[in-house]
Structure 1
Amino acid sequence: MPINRVNAEISPSQAEAIRAALAALRENLPFLIDLTPDERQGMLKFGEKNRSFVAKAMAVAEQNPDILPRGFNVDEMKADVRLVEDLYPLLHSVQEVLGKLENTYFAAGSEAYAAALLVYQYAKAANVATGALEDALDDLGRRFARRSKSAGSAGNGGVSAV
């Protein structure tokens, strides 16, 4: 049997507490938005290097308001910069939890899949003697069924010529 990296369970009360914590997070961040992939692609990229650039540009704008056109809204820029700075530590905390959540999910899933493959092998071996597991093996075997390349091809409706 492979290495068991994860041996845990989530109780119903823990699951409820987690859902409540996530709901509180959403409730306390009501301004969060969704962006489509196209919207994100059309926006300027923002990362750690740009964060520093933005902070420096904010200082220049505050110290030299006379260089900016009349329509430039320094207060709106300040609000955006302040929000970025407020979200930054929250984002890193959530990313850390999300990374561990994804890794744990992956490891537990990998362990469960490895065990399932062993069950499948043992069931095939046991079925040779008794034949009692035929239906279960057919159901499990669907996971490994390959689709024929001609079945999805257009023009012949998936029927091969004889």
Structure 2
Amino acid sequence: MSENRISANLSQTDRLQIMQVITTIREKLPFLIDLTAEERKSLPKLGDKSRAFVSKALEVATQNPDFLPRSFDLDEMRRDIELFDALYPVLLSLTQLQELVDDTFIAAGSEAYTAALAVYNYAKANGNVSGLDAVIDDMGRRFSRRNRKTQPPTNPSATNLTQ
């Protein structure tokens, strides 16, 4: 069997507490929105290279509000920048946590599947396990492929030559 990288338990109590903490986080962020894939693609992105540009634009707008149209909401721009800045460390922390949970989830699943394959192969190889034939056959269906439709010959005239 391959290397065992994870050996842990997550108790029902701990899982429920974690789920409650996640609920609390969601409650603390009631303004979160859910974008569609199309919306994500169409929105301009504020990344590291654009942060200085946005800061300069805010400074210019703050010092020279006269050239802005009346409909421009400088306070809303300021709130958006502040929210972006406040969410950034939260996003980094949650992203790191999600990567760790994802990796652990994948490793635990891989180890469980590898162990199940070993059990299946040992049971198949040891023909003396009475009463397990049906279970082994059932487990073996996991690996059966559907029959593909019979493909016609690529050159129909070639089959006529052999007749």
TM range (shorter): 0.7 to 0.9
- Partner-residue secondary structure (3-state), 2:15: helix
Q: Report what 1:109 is aligned to.
A: 109
Q: Report what 1:78 is aligned to.
A: 78
Structure 1: how far apart are the matches of 2:29 and 2:115? 41
Question: Relative to structure 2, which stretch is displaced further, 52-61 or 28-37?
Answer: 52-61
Structure 1: how far apart are the matches of 2:26 and 2:12? 21
**Unaligned stretches of 5+ in structure 2?**
151-163
Q: 1:76 to 1:5 in 2, by over 3 A?
A: same
Q: 1:51 to 1:119 in 2, by over 3 A?
A: farther
Structure 2: how far apart are the matches of 1:33 and 1:98? 19
- Partner-residue secondary structure (3-state), 1:13: helix
Q: Report what 1:19 is aligned to.
A: 19
- Partner-residue secondary structure (3-state), 2:128: helix
Deviation (angstroms), 1:76: 1.1
- Quote the RMSD (CA, aligned, Å): 1.8
- Partner-residue secondary structure (3-state), 1:129: coil
State, as a whole percentage, how many aligned pairs show the same letter.
48
Aligned residues of 2:61 and 2:74 also touching (Cα < 8 A): yes
Matched letter for residue 96 of structure 2? E
Deviation (angstroms), 1:11: 1.1
Q: 1:79 to 1:146 in 2, by over 3 A?
A: same
Q: 1:69 to 1:116 in 2, by over 3 A?
A: same
Q: Report what 1:137 is aligned to.
A: 136
Q: Report what 1:44 is aligned to.
A: 44
Scaled by the length of structure 1, the TM-score of the pair is 0.83
Q: Report what 1:147 is aligned to.
A: 146
- Partner-residue secondary structure (3-state), 1:148: coil
Structure 1: how far apart are the matches of 2:52 and 2:145? 52
Scaled by the length of structure 2, the TM-score of the pair is 0.83
Q: Report what 2:157 is aligned to.
A: none
Q: Report what 1:35 is aligned to.
A: 35
For residues 54-102 of structure 1, what are the alpha-carbon distances to aligned partners after superposition, in whole Å with 9 as ceiling and x for unaligned? 2232222212223323322111111111110111111111111111000
Q: Report what 2:119 is aligned to.
A: 119
**Unaligned stretches of 5+ in structure 1?**
152-162
For residues 4-53 of structure 1, what are the alpha-carbon distances to aligned partners after superposition, in whole Å with 9 as ceiling and x for unaligned? 11111111211111011001001111111111112212222333323343
Larger radius of gyration: 2
- Partner-residue secondary structure (3-state), 1:149: coil
